[in-house]
Chain A
Amino acid sequence: MYAVYINDVWFRYEDNIEWTLYDIDMNLKLGTSVGLVGPTGSGKTTLAKIIKGLLKPTRGEVYILGKKIDDYSSIELAKTVGYLFQNPTHQIFSLTVYDEIAFGPRNIGMENIEDRVNKIAEKFGLSDKLSLSPFNLSTGEKERIAIASVLVMEPEILILDEPTLGQDYKNYNIIKQVIYELKKEGKTTVLISHEIDLINSCVDEIIALKNGKIMFLGNKRDFLKNEDILEELSFLDKNFNLVLG
Chain B
Amino acid sequence: MVRLGQYVERDSWMHRLDGRSKLIFSFSLMICGLLIENIVILTSIILFTILLSFSAKIGREFLKSLKGIFYLVLFAGLIWLLFYRTSLFLGKSENVTVIARYGPFTIDSLGLIYAIRMPLRILIAISIPTLYFMTTTIREFIISLVKLKIPYVIAFTFGLAAQLIFSLGDEFEKIKEAQTARGLSIDEGSLVKRVKNHIPIIVPFTVRSLDLVEQINIALNLKHFNPKKKSLFYKEKSFGINDWIVVVISLFTLFFSISLSLGIYPRFF
Residues of A that sit less than 8 Å from B by CB: 13-17, 49, 52, 54, 74-75, 78-79, 82-83, 85, 87, 89-93, 103-104, 107-108, 135, 149-150, 153
Chain B binding surface SS class: helix
Residue of chain B at shortest CB distance from A78: B183
Interface hits, B178-237 → A, CB 8 Å: 178-185, 199-201, 203-204, 207-208, 211
Highest count of chain A CB atoms <10 Å: which of B9, B183, B199: B183
| Pick from A83, A87, A89, A135: contact of B181, CB under 8 Å | A83
Residue of A85, A89, A103 near B177 (CB, 8 A) is A85
**What are the residues of chain A within 8 A of B8 when measuring CB–CB?**
15
Q: Which residues on the B side are within 8 Å of A90 (C-beta)? A: 171, 174-175, 178, 204, 208
Q: Which 4 pairs between the two chains have the least Cβ-Cβ distance? A: A107-B183, A78-B183, A93-B203, A104-B182
How close is B125's CB to chain A, nearest CB, in angstroms? 23
Q: List 29 A-B contacts (CB under 8 A).
A: A15-B2, A15-B61, A16-B9, A17-B10, A52-B181, A54-B177, A75-B183, A78-B180, A78-B181, A78-B182, A78-B183, A82-B181, A85-B177, A85-B178, A87-B174, A89-B204, A89-B211, A90-B204, A90-B208, A91-B179, A91-B204, A93-B179, A93-B200, A93-B201, A104-B182, A104-B183, A149-B182, A150-B181, A153-B182
Question: Within 8 Å CB of A85, what residues of B?
Answer: 174, 177-178, 181
Smallest CB separation, A31 vs chain B (Å): 22
In the bound complex, CA of A90 to CA of B183 (Å): 15
Closest to A159 in B: B181
Chain B positions within 8 Å of A75 at CB level: 183, 185
Q: A14-B2, A14-B64, A89-B211 are in contact. Are A107 and B204 (CB under 8 A)?
A: no
Of A16, A79, A82, A89, the contact of B207 (CB 8 Å cutoff): A89
B1 at the interface (CB under 8 A from A): yes
Residues of B within 8 Å of A135, CB to CB, are 207
Nearest opposing residue in chain B for A104, CB measure: B182
B residues with a Cβ closer than 8 A to A are 1-2, 6, 8-10, 61, 64, 171, 174-175, 177-185, 199-201, 203-204, 207-208, 211
Does the CB pair A17–B9 fall under 8 Å?
yes
Q: Which residues of B contact A92 (CB under 8 A)?
A: 204, 207
Q: How far is the CA of A190 from the CA of B49 in the complex (A)?
A: 46
Nearest residue, chain A, Cβ from B181 = A83
Least Cβ–Cβ distance between B180 and chain A, in angstroms: 6
Residues of A within 8 A of B180 (CB): 54, 74, 78
Task: Kindly provide the distance from the CB of A87 to the nearest chain B CB, expressed in whole angstroms.
Answer: 7
Bound-complex Cα distance A54 to B204 (A) = 19
Residue ID in chain A nearest B1 by CB atoms: A14
B211: A residues at CB distance < 8 A: 89
* A108 neighbours in B (Cβ, 8 Å): 183
Chain B positions within 8 Å of A82 at CB level = 181
Q: Given the complex, which residues of A lie within 8 Å of B6, measured CB to CB?
A: 15
> Using Cβ atoms and an 8 Å threshold, which residues of chain A touch B9?
15-17
Q: Which residue of B lies closest to A110 (CB)?
A: B183
Measured between alpha carbons, how far is A92 from B200 in the docked complex, in Å? 8
**A107 to B182, Cβ gap below 8 A?**
yes
A85 to B201, CA, bound (A): 15
Expressed in whole angstroms, the minimum distance between the Cβ of A79 and any Cβ of chain B is 7
A14/B179 in contact, CB under 8 A: no
Residues of B close to A104: CB separation below 8 A: 182-183
Roughly how many angstroms separate A149 CA and B183 CA in the complex, as a whole number?
A: 12
Alpha-carbon distance between A153 and B208 when the two chains are bound, in angstroms: 25
- With A15-B8, A54-B177 as given contacts, are A103 and B200 in contact (CB-CB < 8 Å)? yes
In-complex Cβ contact of A93 among B2, B61, B174, B199 (8 A): B199
